[in-house]
Amino acid sequence: MGLNGANTSDSFDGRTHSDQFMIHMGHGTVFDCLTEVTAAGELVGELAESWEASSDAKTWTFNLRKGVTFHNGKSFGADDVIASLNMHTEEGAKSAAQPIVAAITTMKKMNDHQIQFILAAGNADFPFLLSDYHILMYPAGMIDEAIAKGIGTGLYKVVSFDPGVRCVLTRVDSHYKDGRAGWFDEIECIAINDSSARMNALMTGQVDAVNRVDFKTEPLLRANPNVEIFEVTGNMHYTFPMLTNQAPFDDINVRKALKYGLNRQEMVDKILQGHGMVGNDHPIGPANQYLATDIPQIEFDSDKAKFHMKAAGLTELNVDLSASDAAFNGAVDASQLYQASAKNAGININVVQEPADGYWSNVWLKKGWCACYWSGRATEDWMFSTAYESGVPWNDTHWENARFQELLLTARAELDSNKRRAQYAEMQMLLSQEGGTIIPMFANTVDAASTKLAHGPDIGNIWQMDSSRLTERWWFA
């Protein structure tokens, strides 16, 4: 496979995983999670066999799969679950899953294969959250070694790993998923961050599958009889987050001016080549259950942008926008389109083209305004808790809104679907009108593979490459 998103700082520490290469090498390949979202979107057990909740969704009891071993021969059990979860809240840890684990007040080992979680507040989506690709299961007492060597319970064990270059894996001899997953004898994953080089590698047969097809070259790939394009509609969205605790983005009128200064449809047409839809500055997408379809669409309107500039006491605005195609294919071009459309309102955007290597560690969360992408999440709470909850590590705008936080906690514990829908609709409205993330478009996930490969009737749409589980779900035709 040829994947982008690789860095020389990559490791098997799931807390640090943020892009496609290590996400794919992590869950479903070298490691497992407690739960899994299938290609059809159904939540099933992975290392957990079953679970049950109290009536208030605060107490959850998970029954763990028996007979599972790590690649070093150690048996998997409740102690490993507790140790693996505690990684995310230990001092100094920088994990996007920190808010998920921090919400657990008590982890109690009932026996070697049963564990009870008591949450600070009810959460009807809790089992979904345990499928998060950051929350990998490691062997207790040897976590540092497991991270260094890649010791998990997954279908494939590490033969060699050169961070930012390649990873070679071989199928384990016996696994609890035998007969339903893991059809390759060996996997070689090659880091190809450059989009053109990645497409060429597939065309020439150097690799059998690639992620993130460049929309500009998609017709050329589609015309190749030896290549299959697989395109799915999910929740992936391209974003321009601004740090709202810094000037000028701390002014809501500046944020609104930037919202109206963007021609979203032009980006869908020119950047996505039509493979997606216009966004509305909230992250809930077409694959989510509670997408609010009645929120007024923010349209390109230079006059409204000028109105909000005036309300901010400005006649013109000069801002830097950091971008790299590491953020998403066409991010630099998209930023330049933004620059051109915003100029009509007196907004002068200086596009700063950043290096691809180290973009996620040096630019995102650091620079005042930048290009970014999110794959979305299977549930609304999961998405909001990861990127919009107050104080969480991946809140990339530092936006604070008391009403939003109140609704987040209320909706999380709400079991009535109609009430929950209304709460999530209000949250989407707040983000759209006041938030610090510009979301111009939702992009279809478009990956490609050799026709030598085959797959089931469904292809996962949570993340790229069959929800980053191609290695275990696909086979040679």
Q: Is residue 6 part of a domain?
A: no
CA distances from 283 to 168, 173, 383, 418, 470 (A): 35, 41, 7, 20, 25
> How far is it, in rounded angstroms, from Cα 426 to Cα 390?
17
Q: Is residue 19 part of a domain?
A: no
Q: Is residue 144 part of a domain?
A: no
Q: Is residue 141 part of a domain?
A: no
Are the beta carbons of 301 and 329 closer than 8 angstroms?
no
Give yes or no: residues 262 and 337 share one domain.
Answer: yes
Give yes or no: residues 388 and 297 share one domain.
Answer: yes
Give yes or no: residues 104 and 208 share one domain.
Answer: no
Give yes or no: residues 193 and 304 share one domain.
Answer: no
Structure confidence at residue 425 (pLDDT):
98
Question: Which domain CATH number covers 392?
Answer: 3.10.105.10
Residues of the chain with pLDDT under 70: none
Give yes or no: residues 324 and 305 share one domain.
Answer: yes
Domain total of the chain: 3
Tally of CB atoms within 10 A around 273: 16
Q: Is residue 30 part of a domain?
A: no
Contacts with 224 (C-beta within 8 Å, 6 or more apart), sequence order: 203
Structure confidence at residue 312 (pLDDT):
97
Paired residues of 37 in beta bridges: 43
Structure confidence at residue 415 (pLDDT):
84
Bond into 286 cis (ω within 30):
no
CA 432, chain centre distance (Å): 20
By C-alpha distance, which of 135, 123, 111 is closest to 47?
A: 135
Q: Is residue 364 part of a domain?
A: yes
By C-alpha distance, which of 236, 214, 181, 205 is closest to 19?
A: 236
Give yes or no: residues 328 and 389 share one domain.
Answer: yes
Give yes or no: residues 459 and 438 share one domain.
Answer: no
DSSP tag of 462: S
Give yes or no: residues 307 and 329 share one domain.
Answer: yes
> How far is it, in rounded angstroms, from Cα 216 to Cα 434?
33
By C-alpha distance, which of 80, 105, 108, 85 is closest to 97?
A: 85
Structure confidence at residue 322 (pLDDT):
99
Residue where a domain stops, chosen among 73, 99, 134? 134
Contacts with 459 (C-beta within 8 Å, 6 or more apart), sequence order: 39, 230, 232, 466
Q: What are phi and psi of 450, to 5 degrees?
A: -65, 145
Give yes or no: residues 324 and 406 share one domain.
Answer: yes
Q: Is the dihedral of CA 179, 465, 195, 10 positive or negative?
A: negative
Structure confidence at residue 448 (pLDDT):
98
Question: Which domain CATH number covers 70?
Answer: 3.90.76.10
Q: Is the dihedral of CA 26, 29, 30, 36 positive or negative?
A: positive
Give yes or no: residues 371 and 432 share one domain.
Answer: yes
CA distances from 257 to 302, 313, 322, 434, 440 (A): 8, 12, 18, 11, 14
Convert the pLDDT of each residue in 267-287 to its tens digit: 999 999 999 999 999 999 999
Residue where a domain stops, chosen among 134, 168, 184? 134
Give yes or no: residues 128 and 172 share one domain.
Answer: no
Q: What are phi and psi of 454, to 5 degrees?
A: -135, 160
Cα angle for residues 428, 433, 436 (degrees, 5° grid): 90
> How far is it, in rounded angstroms, from Cα 251 to Cα 255?
7
Q: Is residue 202 part of a domain?
A: yes
Give yes or no: residues 120 and 259 share one domain.
Answer: no
Are the beta carbons of 157 and 174 closer than 8 angstroms?
no
Q: What is the pTM of this model?
A: 0.87
Q: How many CA atoms lie within 13 A of 200 on its CB side?
A: 6
Q: Is residue 326 part of a domain?
A: yes
Convert the pLDDT of each residue in 380-399 to its tens digit: 999 999 999 999 999 999 99
Residues spanned by the domain of 458: 156-232+447-476
Question: Which domain CATH number covers 166?
Answer: 3.40.190.10
